[in-house]
Amino acid sequence: MIQRQAESISFCGQPVAVDQINLIRRITAEFGGLSRTELASTVCELLDWHRPTGKPKTVECRVFLEALHDGGQIHLPERQTRRPYGSKTVILDTGAGGLGAPVEGSLPDFRPLEIEPVLTASDNALWRELIQQHHYLGYRVPFGAHLRYFVRIGSPHPIRVGALQFSSPAWRMAERERWIGWSDEARRRNLQQIVCNSRFLIFPWVRIPNLASCALALAARRLSEDWMARYQVRPLLLETLVDPARFKGTCYQAANWIHVGQTTGRGRQDRAHQRHGSTPKTIFVYPLAAEARQLLSNGSAL
């Protein structure tokens, strides 16, 4: 997969430039918490290594990265057994993710409201089961880096009332790029300082006005430090996509997220422009720093 001729390196028959190798070194160094497959997916995204169908060359890229690792040019984490991004996962119905007892009332009656990191294997299994059963998109293996949380109320006793997931951002969205005002080079360099809120669910048996927007606000406050601790990258901007056929994004607007436009109706991997006509999504963003746009545009990392 990797060829060296006269000190040159190629991937799938195409030369790999020095700046691309440097980018690979930076990714593998900064995202040591990712598996080899997740690193390969991230490299494919950033270097646009895709098949004509638009799917990333993840398998070939992982072989390529391992060859660089074996040659001492980069350092990869130990091999892990993980499912590839986007895989449909069989989620066991244990009953734990079923409908709960109704929770209704005013938010002050249920405080304190907390965002609880999902840390254990059992909580991860419960999180996946709840998302699979109650989120309209179901559960999918997330792209790249990700963190998960439960939303929990404290009174009259602690109860989990919702779930969130934050993961790696979309490679390109025209309206987002326009709002940030960055160049393609700045985007390639700083994209991983954007984090996507890829799942958000208030459980259907919970009826507490303003719960969703308050949960989003709390999650935004702690996400930066949690992401930094896990991946050694400090996010500057959150993004999310809302299906306007289902939702208006009211909770995001109430939490001061900014509406910046709509997608073209193509999926994350649709580089071959084969999915025009799919439902466009509404794009919301939330700056985690006052100067987020300037830092993303100028390439100054925090």
CB 144 within 8 A of CB 120: no
**Judgement on whether residues 132 and 209 belong to the same structural domain of the protein:** yes
One-letter amino acid of 255: A
| C-alpha to C-alpha distance for 147 and 233, rounded to whole angstroms | 13
Structure confidence at residue 269 (pLDDT) = 41
Alpha carbon 52 to its chain's center: 24
Structure confidence at residue 113 (pLDDT) = 97
* Residues of the chain under the 70 pLDDT cut: 1-7, 53, 80-93, 143, 266-278, 299-302
Structure confidence at residue 293 (pLDDT) = 96
Q: CA 135, 139, 144, 148: dihedral to nearest 10 degrees?
A: 60
Classify 148 as helix, strand or coil: strand
Domain assignment of residue 172, yes or no: yes
Structure confidence at residue 267 (pLDDT) = 53
**Judgement on whether residues 183 and 288 belong to the same structural domain of the protein:** yes
**Judgement on whether residues 135 and 268 belong to the same structural domain of the protein:** yes
Q: In total, how many domains does the chain have?
A: 2
Domain assignment of residue 90, yes or no: no
| Residues written for the chain | 302
Q: CA 42, 43, 48, 49: dihedral to nearest 10 degrees?
A: -110
Structure confidence at residue 54 (pLDDT) = 73
**Judgement on whether residues 26 and 121 belong to the same structural domain of the protein:** no
Angstrom distances, CA of residue 86 to CA of 140, 141, 143, 188, 192? 5, 5, 7, 22, 19
One-letter amino acid of 298: N
pTM: 0.70
Q: Express each pLDDT in 31-47 by its tens digit.
A: 877 888 889 988 988 88
- CATH, residue 141: 3.40.630.30
- What residues have CB less than 8 Å from 211, skipping those under 6 apart? 107, 113, 151, 161, 162, 202
Structure confidence at residue 202 (pLDDT) = 98
| Cβ count near 23 (within 10 Å) | 16
**Judgement on whether residues 200 and 288 belong to the same structural domain of the protein:** yes
- Which of 49, 70, 91 lies at the terminal end of a domain, its last residue? 70
The residue segments making up the domain with residue 41 are 2-70
Domain assignment of residue 119, yes or no: yes
Token pair, residue 102, equals 């109704």
Domain assignment of residue 91, yes or no: no
Angstrom distances, CA of residue 179 to CA of 89, 259, 262? 35, 10, 12
Structure confidence at residue 151 (pLDDT) = 98
Structure confidence at residue 253 (pLDDT) = 97
**Judgement on whether residues 54 and 185 belong to the same structural domain of the protein:** no
Structure confidence at residue 272 (pLDDT) = 38
